[in-house]
Structure 1
């Protein structure tokens, strides 16, 4: 839904850069207002700043918002051009690969998870399942280079989830981690928008539909939720679970409120089921043998 909204905002404005900034900036405004009336969030912000100054955590833990900014920028610039289906396949591919790599490396207190055969098969199956599920809506004839930005954005999501999880653990507040994510991302997008505006100019008027500006609020929910869960599941399983949940929710919505000229494709049903199978495969632990660690 967020990809659809931000992509449509970029199309309405005729400027994906401004759409990304408005989406992230609106999220930052909401979080700033919330923090003023939420003592735990304010304490968490103070804790993070103190930890950075003391050197107990690296400063780049704050930069998770850069990946989020790239993702929202990709939505604004390419989602309307590619279509949500192809955009989803590209980002899922990048997100799944980054999930494997970040889990393998480990971040902060997150223990490394080896790349096992089950995790590889589950990850590959998930990408194929998502591609199959959205295949009826894929628009062909798009230049391959357009896929680079959403693929790169997907690669950044795994790292973003890991460092946000570390901030949440330290601050004892998911809203604190989300605040820093949006603050850093908004700053990055502001710089990009400034350069873009100086070169190409900016739109003279904003889009009129209020619903086009809720992408930031939706992003808050996702970022905060991921920051809470990632320490338990790891990056790969979190990403796969989120993907499966989005497909299942979309399918349930279509079943509950069918549209006459938009029938549910059998590929969508099969692909959605297959994503849950992929999660089950990726979650299979390696049996302990002599001297072999568990996954």
Structure 2
């Protein structure tokens, strides 16, 4: 193959990475909007999070059990555990996903989507740097050179710029600042979840088993949390009849499955940053098509979103050069 053909294939691969990352990231704000509305409807963030994960579990059980590839790759789980390619604690990555969804249900209605996004993105970026450095993902250790760190910092600044119109309207800063710790830690651990899912997907040859195991573990944790909540304060409202309130789980399947594939290809940091770009683009499109109360779209919103894409490209440069 000529150098020109290799260059073209490299460029096409990274365009594919960006599109996949945007699609995966865009599922997050959509899921957040659904879960926030569901929480308001049932008046119970624990029940809303459990409903979200349960619907995702039902979908993944259908995909894994009814498709030939799903059944075939499920049979790879035990051999991968015996070979040591997958450690038993990798299977607990879904507990992090349960925490992430619960963080959405608990905090978005109080601190708003803007603050939630900044906190999650900061956590994802810091986590991506750390997990790549210690080699938690399937791609092994990645050097944190100047370009990668610059891209990560530029991503956080771009997100702050994007959501600055919403941030400026907050009062009682110290009250909701404490709540920011929840989505911050959710974003930080979420990048670890993607790393562990990537390891599993590489061992199984498909993201289907890892995604299913994620939803089993996450649902189990949320069932326990909901039972504790029932003992403390009782049940909330009746289940809603509106169909789109139950789409949070399927959107989580998209995010977890595509994220696992991305981590195996480009590492934890770049996967996280690509999905951050997707989150901002998805949020922008969602606010344009179906704006929530208090939504503000300004020039900073649009330019900050574009700057995030630039930051992802900058951080990708070392990998693009290596591929070429």
* TM-score (normalised: structure 2): 0.82
Counterpart CA distance in 2 for 1:243 and 1:24 is: 22
Counterpart CA distance in 1 for 2:194 and 2:239 is: 31
* CA distance 1:10–1:51, change in 2 (3 Å): same
Counterpart CA distance in 2 for 1:82 and 1:283 is: 32
- Point out the more displaced range, 96-105 or 274-283: 274-283
Counterpart CA distance in 2 for 1:262 and 1:28 is: 32
Spell out structure 1 runs of 4+ moving beyond 4 A: 53-56, 252-259
Q: Deviations over 1:196-246 (max 9, x none)?
A: 211221214123422111000111011111111111111111111112123
1:220 pairs with 253, 260, 267, which one? 253
1:231 pairs with 253, 257, 264, which one? 264
Query: Where in structure 1 are there 5+ consecutive unaligned residues?
Result: none
1:29 pairs with 38, 58, 81, which one? 58
1:84 counterpart residue number: 113
Counterpart CA distance in 2 for 1:256 and 1:58 is: 43
1:105 counterpart residue number: 134
CA contact (8 A) 1:43 1:171 kept: no
Counterpart CA distance in 2 for 1:108 and 1:254 is: 33
1:140 counterpart residue number: 170
Counterpart CA distance in 2 for 1:31 and 1:257 is: 28
CA contact (8 A) 2:137 2:198 kept: no
1:108 Cα deviation from its structure 2 partner? 5.9
1:8 counterpart residue number: 37
Higher helix share: 2
CA contact (8 A) 2:138 2:263 kept: no
Counterpart CA distance in 1 for 2:291 and 2:84 is: 55
2:318 counterpart residue number: 285
- Point out the more displaced range, 44-53 or 186-195: 44-53
Counterpart CA distance in 2 for 1:272 and 1:170 is: 35
Query: Where in structure 2 are there 5+ consecutive unaligned residues?
Result: 1-29
Aligned residues: 288
1:157 pairs with 167, 170, 190, which one? 190
- SS of residue matched to 2:235: coil
What is the aligned-residue RMSD (CA, Å)?
2.5
The equivalences for 1:121-132 within 5 A come to: 121-132=150-161
* CA distance 1:201–1:110, change in 2 (3 Å): same
- SS of residue matched to 1:115: coil
1:116 Cα deviation from its structure 2 partner? 1.8
2:20 counterpart residue number: none
Counterpart CA distance in 1 for 2:183 and 2:290 is: 30
* CA distance 1:11–1:109, change in 2 (3 Å): same
Counterpart CA distance in 2 for 1:262 and 1:150 is: 20
1:255 Cα deviation from its structure 2 partner? 6.3
* CA distance 1:14–1:27, change in 2 (3 Å): same
Counterpart CA distance in 2 for 1:200 and 1:55 is: 43
Counterpart CA distance in 2 for 1:171 and 1:285 is: 28
CA contact (8 A) 2:64 2:71 kept: yes
